[in-house]
Amino acid sequence: MEHQQPHVVVHPLPVQGHIKPLLCLAQLLSEDGLYVSFVITHYTHKRLVNLSALTTQFPNLHFEPFSDGLPDDHPRCLNFDFFVDIKTKTKPFFKDLLLSLDTKSEKGLSPPVTCVINDGYLSYPLDVAEELKIPLFTFIAHGACFLLTYYSIPKLIEEGHIPFSDDNMNLEINGIAGLEGVLRRKNLPPACMMKEVTSPLFRQYLDETLAMNRASGLIINTFDDLEVQCLPHLANNFSKVYSIGPLHVFLNSKIGNRSHLIASHASLWKVEQNCIAWLDSQPLKSVVYVSFGTLAKRSISQLLEFWHGLVNSGHPFLWVIHPDVVLDEERENVMPEELQKGPKDNGCIVDWAPQEEVLAHKAVGGFVTHCGWNSTLESIMARIPLICWPYTNDQNINATLVSKVWRIGVELEGCDRQTIKSAIRAVMNGRKEEFQNSIDKIAKCGLNGIGHGGSSNQNLEFLVEDIKKIKSLE
């Protein structure tokens, strides 16, 4: 009977910010009785922390490592060359893996593959799934508004908004349904910064991204009330849209007391739990938490300005500075002592922190962030106002949503110590009540969405039902 379960193959982009939400979704599906194969490259599999504990907690969840076809010394940086390499070199290995799963099912070792859930940043699994006649759902690890900007590119070109030659990146772009009051040049996808939209490079970038609408449906880590203005317009580009989020809170609500056991198991870095003991010694809502994610790169001089801004704000701070945050060309430089140890009295600097646990701590009152989608959702649901310093990709539009639409924080307009100090004091003191009231309302909507009868809860049920329908047609 077990082998009559639907079998879902889940394949993430091999970076922290994409692995975590897709793994949350995989765990949710496994809790609903589906057999889930989480497919990751050998390179990523070796770096993930404590996977054995996850398989114990979720017996329907199975990890299937495979080769990405790249040499061991490949940098695996998320640039255009990387995506070209994996499309040509990883694709045949992914196909072989799907075929090997079929062989396992013929031997009675697992159910046959029902469908694939694939990270939308990867197009080669869609090609393979179509070739093998396996239905595929696309998963997006960022918000609906940012994805809508991609599907607005043809209209942006038609109306002359792109390409542009001047450097006014704050210019507002009007006339795009679902993005009114949100879209500025700086919020556009990186491809839109190219000077020539007829170039093969631009066309390949756009075609690769928009290929996702060939999928059977779109799964997105958001909730209806959060992005109500753009989700209906996004639905015009897909046969079905399943807004299921926030996934980390949804999963925690499903598994109850087990949630504290698995929070860090999807991490590519080992967390430093000693920072929690430090937080325990700090006053209520006094601490500024600082983390710029796993991909944002900063110069040492920028980090030093941040250090001075934090110290001058007068608030204690917990700051995550892992080695990858420094620009590659400065990686060999000696890190200033301030950025290694922090001030003796009111600062704590660590390589990596258990972010969900930190944001939920009673001592934390504000979050300085690059405004990646996971961090934004985690901060909202922990009811912690944000200070946004976006770097690239979806982070700019997320920062605009935070500061202009949802009004749950501020966006830094510069990287000097005075600006940083003023922003911290605004969030922690001057506008604290305003931001707290707004974020409390949004977090409540998020909780309602994952509750019984809520939109995210229903959409997960619809997704599971649709997967079971595919299984019944086999």
pLDDT, tens only, 331-362? 555 556 666 555 666 889 998 899 999 999 99
pLDDT of res. 1: 40
Contacts of 261 (CB under 8 A, 6+ apart): 53, 57
Distances (CA, A) of 96 to 64, 119, 122: 12, 18, 17
Query: Contact 393/142 with Cβ under 8 angstroms?
Result: yes
DSSP state of 264: T
Which residue type does 369 have?
T
Q: How many CA atoms lie within 13 A of 12 on its CB side?
A: 25
| 232/278 same-domain check | no
Residue 114 lies in a domain: yes
pLDDT tens, residue by residue, 22-55: 999 999 999 999 999 999 988 878 777 667 778 7
pLDDT of res. 344: 61
Query: Contact 439/423 with Cβ under 8 angstroms?
Result: no
Is 18 among the catalytic positions? yes
Query: Contact 388/408 with Cβ under 8 angstroms?
Result: no
Determine the Cα–Cα distance for residues 33 and 60; give it in Å rounded to an integer.
7
Q: What crossing angle do the helices spanning 417-425 and 300-313 adopt, rounded to 10°?
A: 40
- Which residues are bridge partners to 303 per DSSP? none
| 237/382 same-domain check | no
Residue 59 lies in a domain: yes
| 216/97 same-domain check | yes
Q: How many CB atoms lie within 10 A of CB 181?
A: 11
Which residue carries 């062989």 as its tokens? 103
pLDDT of res. 264: 46
Determine the Cα–Cα distance for residues 464 and 402; give it in Å rounded to an integer.
32
What's the total number of domains in the chain?
2
User: Phi and psi at residue 169, in whole multiples of 5°?
Assistant: -75, -15
DSSP state of 226: T
| 94/22 same-domain check | yes
Residue 77 lies in a domain: yes
Query: Contact 300/336 with Cβ under 8 angstroms?
Result: yes
**Could you tell me which of 242, 239, 137 has the C-alpha nearest to residue 457?**
242
Residue 346 lies in a domain: yes
**Could you tell me which of 17, 30, 2, 53 has the C-alpha nearest to residue 392?**
17
**What is the DSSP pairing of strand 7-11 with strand 347-350?**
unpaired
Query: Which range marks the domain in which residue 328 is found?
Result: 274-430
**Could you tell me which of 6, 126, 25, 140 has the C-alpha nearest to residue 465?**
6
pLDDT of res. 14: 85
Residue 170 lies in a domain: no
SS3 409: strand
pLDDT tens, residue by residue, 443-464: 999 999 999 999 999 999 999 9
Is 45 among the catalytic positions? no
Query: Contact 48/266 with Cβ under 8 angstroms?
Result: yes
Which residue carries 């801004």 as its tokens? 309
Residue 161 lies in a domain: no
Instruction: Give the pair of three-digit tokens for residue 311.
Output: 């110290």
SS3 205: helix
Q: Where are the alpha helices (DSSP H) in 281-372?
A: 300-313, 337-341, 355-359
| 310/228 same-domain check | no
Cis amide bond preceding 21, omega within 30: no
Determine the Cα–Cα distance for residues 218 and 132; give it in Å rounded to an integer.
20
pLDDT of res. 328: 59
Residue 368 lies in a domain: yes
- Choosing from 11, 62, 68, 119, the catalytic residue is 119
Determine the Cα–Cα distance for residues 383 and 385; give it in Å rounded to an integer.
7
Residue 165 lies in a domain: no
**Could you tell me which of 415, 278, 398, 391 has the C-alpha nearest to residue 325?**
391
- Which residues are bridge partners to 368 per DSSP? 290, 387
| 391/468 same-domain check | no
pLDDT of res. 266: 59
pLDDT of res. 261: 46
| 239/371 same-domain check | no
Which residue carries 């989700």 as its tokens? 231
DSSP state of 326: B
Determine the Cα–Cα distance for residues 135 and 128; give it in Å rounded to an integer.
10
Determine the Cα–Cα distance for residues 352 and 150; give it in Å rounded to an integer.
32
Determine the Cα–Cα distance for residues 209 and 56; give it in Å rounded to an integer.
36
Determine the Cα–Cα distance for residues 399 and 412; give it in Å rounded to an integer.
9
| 52/124 same-domain check | yes
Determine the Cα–Cα distance for residues 22 and 144; give it in Å rounded to an integer.
16
- Choosing from 7, 18, 265, 370, the catalytic residue is 18
Q: Which parts of the chain register pLDDT below 70?
A: 1-3, 49-50, 75-80, 257-270, 325-345, 474
Determine the Cα–Cα distance for residues 186 and 454; give it in Å rounded to an integer.
34
| 459/403 same-domain check | no
| 419/290 same-domain check | yes
Compute the chain's Rg from CA coordinates.
22
Determine the Cα–Cα distance for residues 63 and 258; give it in Å rounded to an integer.
20
| 234/111 same-domain check | yes
**Could you tell me which of 220, 206, 213 has the C-alpha nearest to residue 236?**
213
Q: Give the mean pLDDT of the chain.
A: 89
CATH of the domain at 365: 3.40.50.2000
User: Phi and psi at residue 219, in whole multiples of 5°?
Assistant: -110, 130
| 10/141 same-domain check | yes
**Could you tell me which of 204, 208, 232 has the C-alpha nearest to residue 220?**
232
